[in-house]
């Protein structure tokens, strides 16, 4: 603790009053004075002395100076009130607006991107579905076209056979047990080519297949198996050089060496 | 010509200034303008500059009034310090120094006139000058009106620093005796 009497006697208070101290020293004096009434009193005495000295030099300034000063202060005050009322919020807005704007923009973009993502996702899904449908349709069309063109080829072949004088149509008629069955064989004896038009044959049971036979002098000659799925088509069979009749029997899958006569379905003689 | 506080107490004035009452500035000006202007004029020597400094000082006093702490010091002392600091800054600025280079320091041409603006019970400059010896007055004036530090005074006037300190102390003691009970 500072010794008060010594402090007062040091002359620092007078220096303070005369404005001879640095700001740090001034602050120190103020602190000591605040803590000690004696120092405070001595300091005030010194201050009063210097105030008196200052007053002794008093000079009345130009009377116009007062108006200038009051005017400036009032203008400043009005300006400040105006700033507080208008410019401040504007400033605040301007200061934070890039961030606010960016924040708002980022949220907007986020929401927008979400909406757009969903929109484009559903569009993409729709497009995928339509593409799959289109591909399936195209496959179907291609299949249909294949079928049609195959049929056309068959028909052309049939037309060719029918027009070809070398081919003899042999009509196979259903036997007693299968009166509704029929088929046509087109045979070219010189080229030995045989085609079969299956006509009306009941669907064979599982594990069974129709077999064509050529009959020559009472002996059956294997002319090949009938394809089940090519019922409507003209099917080329094994070559046959000479025949008096053709017959179709139902045989186990893969065919038999000799026809099962109980299973004879159709039979037709070659017209000479 | 009464410029002294009379209609209003210092406490009331301080309170009104603290509230930002611009009308209180007018009161403050009336009460202290001559004393403050006198101090500023003593420092800057030129009336035009002194008026500018006083104007600047009042604006500063108004603006920084919230920082005035009545418990730390008297209002008048605080205001004088604001004025002195601005005035001393002014004379230390290069511009002012150049403009004053060839100018002689006038011997307070209006000082005596200024003293007329005080009430009869106030002590005039002549009385003070008679009470202080010239050495004491010089030191006080250099410190108070020129803003010189004691070591600057010692250097410039070839006086030992201890002597400067002693003279400053004794000068203020003389003044304190004169103004005792008038604060």
Task: Please count the CA atoms within 13 angstroms of the CA of B69 that sit on its side-chain side.
Answer: 6
User: Under DSSP, is residue B83 helix (H, G, I), strand (E, B) or coil?
Assistant: helix
**A46 contacts in chain B (CB < 8 Å):** 172, 176
Domain that holds residue A131: 101-163
Chain B touched by A216 (CB under 8 Å) = no
A200 and A257 in a common domain: yes
Split into its structural domains, chain A has a count of 3
A50 vs B1: CB contact, 8 Å cut-off? no
Region B50-60: mean pLDDT is 92
CATH topology of domain B8-97: Rna Polymerase Sigma Factor; Chain: A (1.10.1740)
Chain A touched by B1 (CB under 8 Å) = yes
B180 vs A48: CB contact, 8 Å cut-off? yes
Q: What region does B45 belong to: left with phi over 0, alpha with psi -120 to 50, or beta? A: left
- Between B4 and B35, the more confident residue is B35
Dihedral sign computed on CA atoms, order A156, A183, A213, A170: negative
B-interface mutation test, from A20, A21, A36, most B Cβ less than 10 A away: A20
pLDDT at A232: 59
A172 and A152 in a common domain: no
Comma-separated ranges of CATH 1.10.1740.10 domains in chain B = 8-97
Q: How far is A64 from chain B (nearest CA, A)?
A: 10
B35 vs A55: CB contact, 8 Å cut-off? yes
Comma-separated ranges of CATH 1.10.10 domains in chain B = 132-182
ipTM: 0.80
Which residues of chain A register pLDDT less than 50? 87-92
pLDDT at A199: 83
A-interface mutation test, from B3, B5, B38, most A Cβ less than 10 A away: B38
pLDDT at B19: 84
pLDDT at B96: 62
Chain A touched by B107 (CB under 8 Å) = no
Residue A77 falls inside a structural domain:
no
A60 vs B33: CB contact, 8 Å cut-off? yes
State the Cα–Cα distance between residues B42 and B114, nearest whole angstrom: 11
Residue A53 falls inside a structural domain:
yes
Contacts of A113 (CB under 8 A, 6+ apart): none
B22 vs A60: CB contact, 8 Å cut-off? no
pLDDT at A202: 87
Dihedral sign computed on CA atoms, order B141, B124, B174, B4: negative
pLDDT band at residue B115 using 50, 70 and 90 as cut-offs = very low
CATH topology of domain B132-182: Arc Repressor Mutant, subunit A (1.10.10)
Q: How far is B43 from chain A (nearest CA, A)?
A: 11
Question: What is the pLDDT of chain B when averaged over all its residues?
Answer: 79
Q: How far is A90 from chain B (nearest CA, A)?
A: 23
A58 vs B38: CB contact, 8 Å cut-off? yes
């Amino acid at each position: 603790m500072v010794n008060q009497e010594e402090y007062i006697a040091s002359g620092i208070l007078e220096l303070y009053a005369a404005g001879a101290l640095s700001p740090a020293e001034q602050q120190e004096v103020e602190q000591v004075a605040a803590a000690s009434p004696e120092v405070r009193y001595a300091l005030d005495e010194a201050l009063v002395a210097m105030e008196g000295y200052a007053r002794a030099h008093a000079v009345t300034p130009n009377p116009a100076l007062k108006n200038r000063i009051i005017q400036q202060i009032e203008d400043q005050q009005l300006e400040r009130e105006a700033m507080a009322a208008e410019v401040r919020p504007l400033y605040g807005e301007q200061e934070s607006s890039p961030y606010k704007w960016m924040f708002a923009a980022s949220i907007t973009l986020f929401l927008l991107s979400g909406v757009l993502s969903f929109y484009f996702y559903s569009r993409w899904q729709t497009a995928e579905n339509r593409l799959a449908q289109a591909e399936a349709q195209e496959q179907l069309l291609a299949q249909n076209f294949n079928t049609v063109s195959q049929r056309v080829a068959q028909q052309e072949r049939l037309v060719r056979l029918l027009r070809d004088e070398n081919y003899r149509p042999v009509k196979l008629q259903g036997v007693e047990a299968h009166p509704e069955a029929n088929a046509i064989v087109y045979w070219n004896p010189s080229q030995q080519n045989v085609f079969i038009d299956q006509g009306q044959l009941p669907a064979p049971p599982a594990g069974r297949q129709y077999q064509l036979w050529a009959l020559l002098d009472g002996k059956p000659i294997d002319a090949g198996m009938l394809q089940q799925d090519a019922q409507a088509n003209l099917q080329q069979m094994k070559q046959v050089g000479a025949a008096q009749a053709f017959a179709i029997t139902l045989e186990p899958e893969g065919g038999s060496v000799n026809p099962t006569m109980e299973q004879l379905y159709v039979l037709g003689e070659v017209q000479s | 010509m009464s410029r002294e506080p009379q209609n209003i107490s210092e406490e009331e004035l301080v309170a009104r200034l603290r509230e930002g009452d611009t009308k209180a500035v007018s009161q403050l000006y009336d009460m202290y303008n001559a004393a403050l202007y006198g101090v500023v004029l003593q420092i800057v020597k030129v009336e035009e500059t002194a008026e500018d400094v006083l104007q600047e000082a009042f604006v500063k006093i108004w603006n920084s009034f919230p920082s005035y702490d009545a418990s730390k010091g008297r209002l008048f002392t605080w205001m004088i310090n604001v004025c002195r600091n601005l005035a001393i800054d002014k004379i230390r600025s290069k511009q002012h120094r150049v403009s004053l280079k060839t100018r002689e320091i006038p011997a307070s041409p209006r000082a005596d006139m200024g003293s007329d603006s005080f009430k009869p019970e106030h002590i005039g400059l002549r009385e003070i000058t008679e009470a202080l010896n010239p050495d004491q007055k010089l030191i006080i004036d250099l410190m108070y009106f020129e803003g010189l530090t004691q070591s600057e005074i010692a250097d410039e006037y070839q006086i030992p620093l201890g002597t400067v300190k002693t003279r400053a102390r004794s000068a203020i003691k003389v003044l304190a005796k004169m103004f005792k009970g008038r604060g």
